[in-house]
Structure 1
Amino acid sequence: MIPPISAPDFLAKAGWPGAAIVPLAGDASFRRYFRVVDGGRRAVLMDAPPPHEDPRPFIAIARHLVADGFAAPRILADDLDEGLVLIEDFGDHRLKEHIDAAPADELAVYTRAVELLAALHRRPPADLPPYDRAVYQREVGLLTEWYCPAINLAVDEQAYIRAWNAVLPIVEQSASPVVTVLRDYHAENIMLIDPPAAHGLGLLDFQDALAGHPAYDLVSLLQDARRDVPPEVEAAMLAHYKALASPPNDFDAAYAVLGAQRNAKIIGIFTRLWKRDGKPRYLSYLPRMWGLLERDLGHPALAPVAAWFDANIPADQRHDALQEFSPA
């Protein structure tokens, strides 16, 4: 992965002349990341090339989170015309790999992550667009737009929209507070940082944040697309959050609705990453996503959506229907 041609000049102007630029793992977007090393100093260079990416939301939310006492990367320098942002380096100690190496820590680390969410939800939300019906519908539409054509399945898209319209009022009319929803709060976007601050967790990948229901990020954390969270851990953490936040009685239904919404969306996104962007590795996550979606659809609040899936996507066209395209 070659850094952008303008990176050395940008770094020189930012006070890092001659620094080494080392590739880091990218993500599912057009953004790329590089570690910048200058003697004992380290930082991360985000390459968010326009017009595909706009780093302004990331910068704004990062500053909001830091002001509220959370550990988001400090912004060290930026060139918005080039889409370059130099940010604080939280290191390589991600929550996912830590649990993989030390599974006995799983409950303790997830407890910290849930407590961070509860603390975030006690703060007024950032000045953000709403996570509203139009966004929810656009996102679940990714499943019918990408997954269904990929398996050559014709479905009733208007009935799909109507089914979601029947269940989404649960999250729109909930008595739960409107909070900052980070939207991608999971084990690969949470860093264990040293020295510890703000629950010892560093936050990443929050540029798509919206103002919405508090159950969404809890779903993102506990119904993780990229790792299996044991059901007993999910149940314990859901109970822990409710003990901390005292949400209204409809919270479990909202959690199920947003779980189904998010998991349907991700099935569509991961199929798109294969079909449009040439990233077949994301297909390997689809069996997990279907399992989570089907479990959420079992909640009575999802009955209209569950009926649509039963009528339109047979069981043998779910789970591993695309696995022949997935790399070994």
Structure 2
Amino acid sequence: MILPDGLDQFLAASGWAGARVEPLAGDASFRRYFRIIGEGRQAVLMDAPPPHEDPRPFIAVAEWLGGVGLTAPEILARDLDRGLLLLGDLGDARLRETLDDDPAREEELYQLATDLLVQLHGHAPMSGLSPHGLDQWLDELMLFPDWYAPALGLDVDRDGYRAAWTQILAPVADDGLSPVTVLRDYHAENVMLVAGREGVAHLGLLDFQDALAGHPAYDLASVLEDARRDVPPALERAMLDHYIAATGNAAAFEPAYWALAAQRNTRILGVFVRLWKRDGKPHYRAFQPRMWELLERDLAQPGLEPVRSWFDANIPVNQRAAAWADAR
């Protein structure tokens, strides 16, 4: 275990001198996490080393989320020059493992996760967030022809790809639904069950430093079409209906949901290949069959015919989920 430079001084200055340090699981970025254990208390250290990482967006979003009544880690201490943050510890009970251990709670907990978004979307976007709209959606989608297609030796119609996506996403960008704070990585491994809390406040949030101001359907698609966990289609349908009933956004919201779910899943197909090819993380290949299953489900929805036709013309069936089956 290689500890961050200057950690002893940082802990001493923060009132945690002599605390024990244990590694925690990291993520797809340069960030690392450690549990800091003192006498009768514990915290989490985020190591976000500059210039690769900047913890200031995380701090700003965490404080804003707390201000609107949601649960995010409290910022206990910071050293921005070294990229070190000491955070309140939300515990070990992630939504993912909780459901693995007790599948009977699936509807209950996904309804809480959906209600959290209803509460979040009741607030205007956090001030200062960059937009997440049509231009950003289209740029993100280029990860598929830039990384996925070359990895499988496919020569695809890039102009037709962008045109097809523009045809289905431009109406979403102009559907009249007010922008919200989009966490952008809202899924079962970034949601914690916080002991001693009830209702939506029972859920704690992680990994939101890339938040933008965008469409309310994006994060719902993120949690219900999870790259790392199977969510039954019937439960997805029930939670989509639950969100629509709670917000009253029936006419515009559902078409946007399927279009943005397809956009997100296509982007992730490219992201996971990039993590493999560029960043030396081949284990992300194992998620590709699930991503294809989700994308195929999205493309079957009404209104996505232009994109579905592009995939049918450019990506052979055996270069979809089957191409990654040996990576499971």
Q: Report the number of matched residues.
A: 326
Question: What is the CA deviation profile of residues 206-236 of structure 1, one whole-angstrom value per residue up to 9, with x for unaligned ones?
Answer: 0000111111000001000000001111111
**d(CA) in 1 for partners of 2:250, 2:78:** 42
Amino acid at match of 1:125: P
Identify the residue that residue 63 of structure 1 maps to in structure 2.
63
**d(CA) in 2 for partners of 1:54, 1:265:** 23
Identify the residue that residue 270 of structure 2 maps to in structure 1.
268
Identify the residue that residue 135 of structure 2 maps to in structure 1.
134
Identify the residue that residue 279 of structure 2 maps to in structure 1.
277
Identify the residue that residue 98 of structure 1 maps to in structure 2.
98
**d(CA) in 1 for partners of 2:322, 2:4:** 38
CA contact (8 A) 2:121 2:181 kept: yes
Amino acid at match of 1:267: L
Amino acid at match of 1:2: I
- Runs of 5+ consecutive residues of structure 2 not aligned to the other structure: none
**d(CA) in 1 for partners of 2:161, 2:49:** 35
TM-score of the superposition, structure 2-length normalised? 0.97
Identify the residue that residue 258 of structure 1 maps to in structure 2.
260
Amino acid at match of 1:41: R
**d(CA) in 1 for partners of 2:163, 2:237:** 30
Deviates more, 1:84-93 or 1:195-204: 195-204
Identify the residue that residue 162 of structure 2 maps to in structure 1.
161
CA contact (8 A) 1:30 1:48 kept: yes
Runs of 4+ in 1 over 2 A off after TM superposition: none
Amino acid at match of 1:15: G
Question: What is the CA deviation profile of residues 248-307 of structure 1, one whole-angstrom value per residue up to 9, with x for unaligned ones?
Answer: 402111001100000001111111111111111111110010111111111222111111
**d(CA) in 1 for partners of 2:165, 2:107:** 33
Amino acid at match of 1:230: P
Question: What is the CA deviation profile of residues 6-38 of structure 1, one whole-angstrom value per residue up to 9, with x for unaligned ones?
Answer: 111111111111111110000011111000011
**d(CA) in 2 for partners of 1:200, 1:52:** 32
Q: How does 1:1-328 map to 2 (within 5 A)?
A: 1-127=1-127, 128-196=129-197, 198-324=200-326, 326=327
Residue 145 of structure 1: SS of its match in structure 2? Answer: helix
CA contact (8 A) 1:137 1:161 kept: yes
**d(CA) in 2 for partners of 1:235, 1:322:** 27
CA contact (8 A) 2:33 2:46 kept: yes
CA contact (8 A) 1:176 1:248 kept: no
**d(CA) in 1 for partners of 2:27, 2:11:** 22
CA contact (8 A) 1:179 1:213 kept: yes
**d(CA) in 2 for partners of 1:322, 1:237:** 30
- Runs of 5+ consecutive residues of structure 1 not aligned to the other structure: none
CA contact (8 A) 1:48 1:55 kept: yes
The root-mean-square deviation of aligned C-alpha atoms, in Å, is 1.2
Deviates more, 1:189-198 or 1:249-258: 189-198
Residue 303 of structure 2: SS of its match in structure 1? Answer: helix
Deviates more, 1:189-198 or 1:40-49: 189-198
**d(CA) in 2 for partners of 1:239, 1:322:** 33
**d(CA) in 1 for partners of 2:254, 2:324:** 31
**d(CA) in 2 for partners of 1:148, 1:46:** 35
Residue 37 of structure 2: SS of its match in structure 1? Answer: strand
Return the offset for 1:323: 4.3
**d(CA) in 1 for partners of 2:175, 2:289:** 31
**d(CA) in 2 for partners of 1:312, 1:136:** 20
**d(CA) in 1 for partners of 2:239, 2:133:** 26
Tell me the percent identity: 56
**d(CA) in 2 for partners of 1:73, 1:12:** 21
**d(CA) in 1 for partners of 2:3, 2:237:** 43
TM-score of the superposition, structure 1-length normalised? 0.97
